[in-house]
Structure 1
Amino acid sequence: MTQSLPESRRVVVKIGSALLVDRETGALRGEWLGSLAKDVLRLKRRAQDVVLVSSGSIALGRTVLDLPPGPLPLEQSQASAAVGQIRLARAYEEALAPHKITTAQVLVTLEDSRDRRRYLNSRATLEALLSMGVVPIVNENDTIATDEIRYGDNDRLAAQVAVTVGADLVVLLSDVDGLYTANPNDDPTAERLSEVTTITPEIEAMAGDAGSGLSKGGMKTKIMAAKTAMAGGAGLVITEGSRLSPLQALEDGANATWFRPQTDPHVARKRWIAAMKPQGVLTLDEGAARAMSQGKSLLPAGVSAVSGRFERGDPVTLARPDGTALGVGLARYTAQEAELLKGHQSSEIAEILGYPGRAALVHRDDMVL
């Protein structure tokens, strides 16, 4: 399966601190960000969805707080992030607003992808933003994340975001132009790999240890990100990003290493859901069973019975009226809530539960028939 930037329907672009913030002065690289905004505009004009995963909040915040160079204690890092996040969001808004592009800030932690309920909530929010043409600016929530709930690097965060939103391609804008057989700074015979279709132990060995790369986390974290992206059906490309208009340069043939998935995001997600062990059963009426066979979501009105104990985000069996399995889906309500809602119209959800909820019990994107 081959993918290029123009062919991708949905693209996640990761921007590192070193590209966005001048290392010497701590100031924002405004000209570079302006050129990236033009890149984003070009993708949007081709009707491509774009998500930006951006570092830079700590780097911007520590400058404002006049903190010394070098590693910071956790509380100072979090304080820097709190100050810098405002400036980072404003910088993207000011860069993209002249192109009539609306931005949104989305802050996440590792727990948001590990917990299925949080994962579904994050996915629903990002999908809603993208459906309205918004460009989400995603970053790790450094103001609250501790070592136990951190991604630790935005390479892996970008890959996880890509899996969450079903992206076709992840672009890692880096300070190197791809994966080499050895560190090119140490070995003049090192060669850049133009394409990787399978991440073998030999490929992993080329990446070295986590701290040996040229950018934060090193090449090893980029290989880990590629594994996540490829498993989710997304391609991933590593390219040098410090030049102006880095996405245009990539389209024009700039040096890069492309990691090619063996399937597409839709198929990968369906396989993931199908492999889960159901925690309950939703029995459907004939009309709901027909509607789902035609690609519709499952609404409360179409459910005649609820069994099992499940929470939001848990997998449930979707059964025909005779009890045979029609498929598996991720529930958007708990078993207790589903029991209250069964047979009712979606317009009645707020009245029944006492708060507004999602219209579908199981969304069509979260089921496998």
Structure 2
Amino acid sequence: MRPGLAAKRLVVKVGSAVLAGPSGLDRGAMGEIARQVAALRQAGREVVLVSSGAVAAGMAATGLPRPQDMPLKQALAALGQPLLMAAWREVFLDHGLQVAQVLLTAEDLAARERYLNAKATLEALLRLGALPVINENDTVAFQEIRFGDNDQLSARVAALVGAGLLVLLSDVDALYEDDPKQNPSARPIPEVARVEEVLAHAGAGNPLGSGGMRSKLLAARLAGRVGIPTLLLPGRRPGVLLEALAGAPLGTYFHAQRRYRGEKAWLLGLLRPRGELVLDAGAVRALKERGASLLPAGIKAVRGRFGRGEAVRLLSEAGEEVGVGLANYASEEIERIRGRKSAEIEEVLGYRYTEEVVHRDHLALKEEA
């Protein structure tokens, strides 16, 4: 059973290995995807497209091989992005659909105000009947503000727009029990209940794609943590999107585990919270088992520098990631009150904002999906 196939709003990610042909962008493959998306739109569904392919298009335009250094890769992305959008515009206009380019960096979704602005813009585009085509802004992104690849970006976009399903169109048929290139008898896995149990199966991807299977599993885990299932499909198979959404047992379906919306979904999607708090065993149990807030008494250590209201990662003493939350105190203040009772905060600091360092209403637990 694959709940989520009837979702009204979908995020569809298309990998560069699906879009790239021998001499540039494969207009035939793009046209087939446009046909299927148009059919979904006609059926009353909303679609947000996350598209790779800018660097591949730039490589084809210049005749250069895949670059190793970041500046050249960013230059090729700048050359290829307008070619990619022109190709999408052409194939979607055949079906009467307008496309809108949206370029994002991880910083755009890390800052709450910019996150909400991006959400409002995408909602407005959908209301206008336009098809948002999203890509990472490779031209300005550097390592510290990169999503890493568009698999990760698509999961965060799915959370951003409140999608009911994330679809990854790839050059692989499905997730397999073993590498089918090395083991021809390896069988596909039609459904995955818990991504953690299969992360060991991740392998390398197509040379034109930077994601690979591990990246797809991580994207499915992230989407699942905010209640969004993921469907991995062979993107170059004609009609695959429509067939799978109609119930055909194609690809691999990853079930969702949780349902976080709004601020908590944003917190789970943060790539790099500003700092870390290390918690004792009692605090970890209180958060996980009782849904409690984090009090200063349960904090063992403070890492990094952050201000009041900034996001921090919560860790156990063993290094397990417990969750992400918004700190009610700055790092310097928490360093002074850690291990103390809440009643002692005012005595130590001379003032008290709240009893909690992180309130449970502003805390998202990272239970394994």
User: Do both proteins adopt the same fold according to a TM-score greater than 0.5, normalized to the shorter chain?
Assistant: yes
Q: What is the CA–CA distance in structure 2 between the aligned matches of 1:274 and 1:239, rounded to whole Å? A: 26
Matching residue of 2:229? 235
CA displacement at 1:217 relative to structure 2: 2.4
* Cα pair 1:36 1:246 within 8 Å, conserved: no
Following the alignment from structure 1 to structure 2, what is the Cα–Cα distance between the partners of residues 275 and 149? Answer: 16
Q: 2: distance between equivalents of 1:155 and 1:80? A: 20
Give the TM-score normalised by structure 1: 0.68
Give secondary structure in 2 for the equivalent of 1:155. Answer: helix
TM-score scaled by length of structure 2? 0.68
Query: Quick check: 1:197–1:259 contact (8 Å CA) kept in 2?
Result: yes
Distance 1:223 1:63 in 2: 29
List gaps (5 residues or longer) in structure 1: 277-308, 315-329, 331-365
C-alpha deviation, 1:248, in angstroms: 2.4
Matched, 1:55 2:27: no
After TM superposition, which residue ranges in structure 1, 4 or more long, deviate above 4 angstroms?
273-276
1:111 CA displacement: 1.0
Read off the aligned partner of 2:17 and give its amino acid letter. Answer: A
Q: Which amino acid in the other structure matches residue 75 of structure 1?
A: P
1:62, distance to aligned residue in structure 2 (A)? 2.1
Per-residue CA distance 1:8-30 (angstroms, 9 max, x = gap): 111111111121121x322x211
The verdict on how the C-alpha distance between 1:219 and 1:3 changes in structure 2, with shifts beyond 3 A counting, is: same
Tell me the equivalent position of 1:136: 132
Are the counterparts in 2 of residues 32 and 245 from structure 1 also a CA contact under 8 Å? no
What value does the CA root-mean-square deviation take over the aligned residues? Answer: 2.6
Shift in Å, 1:193: 1.2
> Alpha carbons of 1:83 and 1:256: their partners in 2 closer, same or farther (altered >3 Å)?
same
The alignment status of 1:248 with 2:242, answered yes or no, reads yes
Inter-partner Cα distance in structure 1 for 2:49 and 2:261: 22
Following superposition, the deviation at residue 114 of structure 1 comes to 1.6
Distance 1:144 1:238 in 2: 29
**1:121-165 Cα deviation digits (max 9, x unpaired):** 111111111122111000000111111111121111111100000
Relative distance call for 1:205 and 1:34 in structure 2 (3 A) is: same
- The one-letter amino acid of 2:3's match is Q
The match for 2:179 among 164, 183, 195 is: 183
1:272 corresponds to: 264
8 Å CA contact retained: 2:2, 2:253: no
8 Å Cα contact 2:92/2:99 also seen in 1: yes
Distance 1:75 1:157, change over 3 A: same
Could you give the per-residue CA deviations for residues 255-276 of structure 1, whole angstroms, max 9, x where no partner exists?
A: 311011135xxx5205827999
Counterpart AA for 1:236: T
Distance 1:19 1:273, change over 3 A: closer
**Structure 1 275/82 Cα, relative in aligned 2: closer, same or farther at 3 Å?**
closer
Please point out which of 25, 29, 32 is paired with 1:32. 29
- Could you tell me which of 135, 149, 153 is aligned with 1:157? 153
Kept in 2: contact 1:180–1:190 (CA 8 A): yes
Partner of 1:353: none
Structure 1 residue 186, shift from structure 2 partner: 1.1
Alpha-carbon distance in 2 for matches of 1:256, 1:221: 16
Per-residue deviation, 1:4: 4.6
8 Å Cα contact 2:227-2:257 kept in structure 1: yes
Partner of 2:282: none
1: CA distance between counterparts of 2:245 and 2:122? 26
**What residue number does 1:282 align with?**
none
Name the CA shift for 1:90/1:70 in 2 (closer, same or farther; >3 Å). Answer: closer
Matching residue of 2:20: 21
Deviations 1:231-279 (Å, cap 9, x if unpaired)?
A: 121110111111233312434626311011135xxx5205827999xxx
Following the alignment from structure 1 to structure 2, what is the Cα–Cα distance between the partners of residues 274 and 8? 21
Q: Residues 250, 148 of structure 1: CA spacing in aligned structure 2 closer, same or farther, 3 A cutoff?
A: same
Q: 2 CA distance for matches of 1:122 and 1:158?
A: 14
How far apart, in 2, do the equivalents of 1:158 and 1:271 lie? Answer: 18
Would you say the 8 A contact 1:107–1:139 is kept in 2? yes
1:258 is aligned to 253
Partner of 2:10: 11
Distance in 2 of aligned mates of 1:96 and 1:25: 21
Structure 1 residues 254 and 35, CA gap change in structure 2 (3 angstroms): farther
Equivalences for residues 211-230 of structure 1 within 5 A? 212-214=204-206, 215-230=209-224
1:207: which partner in 2? 202
Amino acid at match of 2:61: V
Work out the CA distance in 1 between the residues paired with 2:151 and 2:194: 19
Alignment length (residue pairs): 272
* SS at 2:184 equivalent: coil
CA distance in 2, matches of 1:191, 1:66: 38
Cα distance, 1:56–1:234 mapped onto 2, change above 3 Å: same
Post-superposition shift, 1:116? 1.1
**1:78 aligned to 2:74?**
yes
Letter in 2 for 1:257: T
Cα distance in 1, alignment partners of residues 267 and 119 from structure 2: 20
CA distance in 1, matches of 2:262, 2:81: 35
Contact 2:159–2:265 (Cα < 8 Å) also in 1: no
How far has the Cα of 1:72 moved from its partner? 3.6
User: Which secondary structure does the structure 2 equivalent of 1:99 belong to?
Assistant: coil
User: Does the 8 Å contact 1:55/1:154 carry over to 2?
Assistant: yes
Matched, 1:41 2:38: yes
